[in-house]
Structure 1
Amino acid sequence: MSTPTRIWTPIDFNRDGKQAGSLRLPISTDLSAYGWIPIPVVCIKNGSGPTAVLIAGTHGDEYEGQVALLELARTIEASAITGRIIILPALNFPAVEAGRRVSPIDEGNLNRVYPGEAHGSATQMIAHYVTSVLLPMADLVVDLHSGGRSLDYTPCALIRPSVDKQLNDRLMELMRVFGAPISYITDGKGGGGNTTLPAAAEQFGVSVITAELGGGATLRAYGKELARSAVLRLLHHIGVRSDGTLPQPLETRVMEVPGRDFFLYAESDGLFEPSVMPGDEVTAGQHAGYLHSIERPMEPPLSLIFSASGLVACRRFPTLTKRGDCLFSLMRDVEKGART
C-alpha cells in the first residue's frame, strides 16, 4: 500500500464536528476528461477515541444497510459521541446509482478486488482507498450487505475467522453484540476468499463484521431495523457512543459454511421453483425444488436434491435461471460441525 491513493476528499477526518461531503473518484471519459465521481461520506468526530467505519453499498442493489446508514448519518451528532464515526452509505457509488451489484463503469465487484490498486480500474481504486486510508484509521468496520437482485438471505451476521486469537475473540464478541438471530463463520471460499474487505482488514488487525439483511433488490423493514440497532449497539460496545436505552442483543445461533457441499447450483437452464425458503431446516437427500425447461415443454422438470443437511442461508431470488447459478446456500451449527 505504498502507492498513494488517487481518490481525494475535502473532508478532514481529523477535524471535530460533523462534516458531509464526498470522496472524489477520478474518471476520464469522452465528455469529462478531468472529472470525478462523488462517493458520499459523513465524518462525525468529537475528541479522542475509537474510530468506527460504517459501510453500505458495496453492492449497489442491496438496500437495507444503505437506508439504515442514511438514517444514522442524519441523526447522530458529534456532541453525542467520543471518538470518530465515518459513514459511507454508498461506497461503490456507480453501482448504487445504477442499482446493480457490480459497477457499470468496469463491471467490478467491489468485494472481490481487495486490496485494490491505486492506478487500477474505478472499483479497484475504491478498494485501494479503503485499504490504504480507512483501514489504518479504523478500530471497527461494519459492512452491511443483503442478497441483492439474485439472492434472498435470512438475516444474519458473519465474520471471517482469524489465526490471531485476540482478533478472533474480538470478532466473536462483536458478532454476539450485533445480535442477529443467526451468525456464521466463513473464510469466504464460497465467494471472494482473500479478495474481500475482511481479508484486507485482517492484515491491519482490524475487526470487520458483515451482515446479510434480506435481498431481492428490495427493502426489508426487519433487515433495516436490525442494521440500525446492531450498529448502535456496536458503537456503544466499543465506547464511541453511550446509550443505555438500547435493547439487548438476541442470543445468536453460531453457524458455519464448511464447504462446497453446502451450495446447490443449477446444472441446466430453466425456471426455478424452490420448495424451501431461507431459514428452513433441511436434510441431505431432501427435495429442494424443480428446474423447468423452457425449451422442452413436454420434458419433466429436473428435481433438485440437497447434498447436505443444515439451515437455508439463502436462495436464488429470480425464477429465470442459467446453468451455474447458485440456487441455495446452507449453514450448519458450529458445535455440530465440531463433533463430526
Structure 2
Amino acid sequence: MSVQTRIWTPIDYHADGKQSDCLRLPHSTDLSAYGWIPIPLVCIKNGSGPTALLVAGNHGDEYEGQIALSNLAREIQAHQVSGRLLILPALNSPAVAAGRRVSPLDEGNLNRLFPGNAAGSPTEMIAHYVCEVLIPMADVVVDLHSGGRSLDYVVSTLVRPGRTVDEHEALLRLMRLFGAPIGFVSDGTGGGGLTTLAAAAQERGALALTTELGGGATLSQEGLSFAEAGLKRLLKDQGILRDIAIEPASSTRLMTVKGHSAFVYAHDRGIFEPAANIGDEVTKGQIAGRIHFPDLPAREPVTLFFESSGLVACRRVPSLTDRGDCLFKLMADIEAGSPGLALHA
C-alpha cells in the first residue's frame, strides 16, 4: 500500500466472509508506550459487487446511527451479501466512549478534519484513513448523524449539491430511497463545508448520504426506525442485499438551506427561550426567541428574529447559550422543476 497511514487492521478487505475486529489507532501515553485504540469494524463480503461504507459515531454523542449499524452488523450474514459491506458504528471511538462530539484525546471534531493527516493527531489520523483507504473502496457512503448534545433535528437526510446534473439526480434518488420525511441539499454553509466525510467522499467519486436522526444526546426511536429501514432500502437498491425484505419508502419533502440567512445565532450569553419548535413553518421577521440575563435582572431580554422563511430543521437544546451558538437552522422547499436551485444550493 502506497498510503502511509499509521492505522492498521487484521481484517482482509478482499476476503469473502464476515469478519469482525477493529482498526488499530496508534496512541502513545504514559502508561501505554506502544498502545493502540480500537475502532470497531465489520467487513462482510461475498463475491464481486458494489461496496457500501456505513459509518456512525463520527460524532460520539449521536446514538441512533450507532445502534442501527450495530444491529445491522449482527443481523447480516455473508451469504446474504453480493459485494461488500464495511460497517463502522463508532468511527471516532474515543468520542463515542466519552459521549462527546469531539475526541477527549485531542479535542478533534472528526467531521471538521477531513481529509485528515496520516502523521497528525489521533482524530486527523482517523480522517486520513477513511479518505485514503476506506472511501476509495466504496461506491456509496452513508454517514449517520443526529444533533448531539447541542441540537435537536427533524429526521432528515442530507446531500451536497452534485457536481454534475447526473450526480445530483443520483444523490436526490438516494434521499428518496432512504425515505426520511425531509431531504435537504446543502453545501455545508454554517457547518463543515469541505471538511466533512461527505465532502471527502464526493471528492473521491463516491455517492454520499448523511442523516440527521434526532438529537439532544438521547435516542429517538423514530430516527432509529428510519435509519434501519432506510439503510436496507439503499443496500437492496445497490444490489448488495438483493433478497432482504423491505418496506416501501414514504415520500420525502425535498428542501435546501439558503446560506447564512437560514441560521439564527446568539449574540449574547444568557438563557435561551425559544419561540419555535423543530418542524414548525416560520416566516421572515417572525420572533425566533429571546435571550434572558438572570445575572442582570434589570436588563431587558434580547429578542431574536428569523431572517428568512422556512421549516425549522433544528433547534438548540441547552438553554444556557453563549455568543456565536447556533439556535435554529431553517430549510426552504426546492421548487418543482428547478434543478438549478438544488444544484447550486
Scaled by the length of structure 1, the TM-score of the pair is 0.97
Q: Distance in 2 between matches of 1:322 and 1:288?
A: 16
Q: Distance in 1 between matches of 2:227 and 2:173?
A: 17
Q: Write the letter of the residue equivalent to 1:329.
A: K
Partner residue in 2 for 1:20: 20
Cα drift, residue 130 of structure 1: 0.4
Cα drift, residue 73 of structure 1: 0.6
Q: Distance in 2 between matches of 1:120 and 1:152?
A: 32
Partner residue in 2 for 1:139: 139
Q: 1:84 to 1:244 in 2, by over 3 A?
A: closer
Query: Identical aligned pairs, as a percentage?
Result: 60
Q: Distance in 1 between matches of 2:150 and 2:140?
A: 29
Is the Cα–Cα contact under 8 Å of residues 167 and 205 in structure 1 kept in the other structure?
no
Alignment of 1:321-340 (within 5 A): 321-335=321-335, 338=341
- Residue 230, structure 1, aligned to residue 238, structure 2: no
**SS in structure 2 of the partner of residue 24 of structure 1:** strand
Partner residue in 1 for 2:188: 188
Is the Cα–Cα contact under 8 Å of residues 310 and 331 in structure 1 kept in the other structure?
yes
Q: Distance in 2 between matches of 1:141 and 1:199?
A: 11
Query: What root-mean-square deviation, in Å, do the aligned CA atoms of Structure 1 and Structure 2 show?
Result: 1.5
Q: Distance in 1 between matches of 2:19 and 2:167?
A: 31
Partner residue in 1 for 2:200: 200
User: Which portions of structure 1, spanning 4 or more consecutive aligned residues, are displaced by more than 6 angstroms?
Assistant: none
Q: Distance in 2 between matches of 1:324 and 1:169?
A: 35
Q: Distance in 1 between matches of 2:162 and 2:234?
A: 20
Partner residue in 1 for 2:309: 309
Partner residue in 1 for 2:85: 85
Alignment of 1:231-246 (within 5 A): 231-243=231-243, 245-246=245-246
200-209 or 132-141: which moved more?
Answer: 200-209
Is the Cα–Cα contact under 8 Å of residues 5 and 129 in structure 1 kept in the other structure?
yes
Q: Distance in 1 between matches of 2:100 and 2:2?
A: 31
**SS in structure 2 of the partner of residue 10 of structure 1:** coil
Cα drift, residue 305 of structure 1: 1.1
Cα drift, residue 294 of structure 1: 2.4
Cα drift, residue 242 of structure 1: 1.8
Which string of whole-angstrom CA distances, capped at 9 and with x for unpartnered residues, describes residues 267-293 of structure 1? 101111111111110001111121111
Q: Write the letter of the residue equivalent to 1:240.
A: I
Partner residue in 1 for 2:118: 118
**SS in structure 2 of the partner of residue 111 of structure 1:** helix
Cα drift, residue 35 of structure 1: 0.5
Q: Write the letter of the residue equivalent to 1:204.
A: R
Which string of whole-angstrom CA distances, capped at 9 and with x for unpartnered residues, describes residues 111-139 of structure 1? 11111111011011000000000011001
Q: Write the letter of the residue equivalent to 1:188.
A: G
**SS in structure 2 of the partner of residue 298 of structure 1:** coil
**SS in structure 1 of the partner of residue 33 of structure 2:** strand
Which string of whole-angstrom CA distances, capped at 9 and with x for unpartnered residues, describes residues 211-266 of structure 1? 00000001010001100000000000100002463111111111111110110000
**SS in structure 2 of the partner of residue 335 of structure 1:** coil
Q: Write the letter of the residue equivalent to 2:320.
A: L
**SS in structure 1 of the partner of residue 227 of structure 2:** helix
Cα drift, residue 26 of structure 1: 0.3
238-247 or 279-288: which moved more?
Answer: 238-247
323-332 or 190-199: which moved more?
Answer: 190-199
Cα drift, residue 2 of structure 1: 5.8
Q: Write the letter of the residue equivalent to 1:311.
A: L
Cα drift, residue 68 of structure 1: 0.6
The size of the alignment, in residue pairs, is 339
Q: Write the letter of the residue equivalent to 2:190.
A: G
Structure 2: gaps of 5 or more residues: none
Partner residue in 2 for 1:178: 178
Scaled by the length of structure 2, the TM-score of the pair is 0.96
Q: Distance in 2 between matches of 1:137 and 1:304?
A: 46
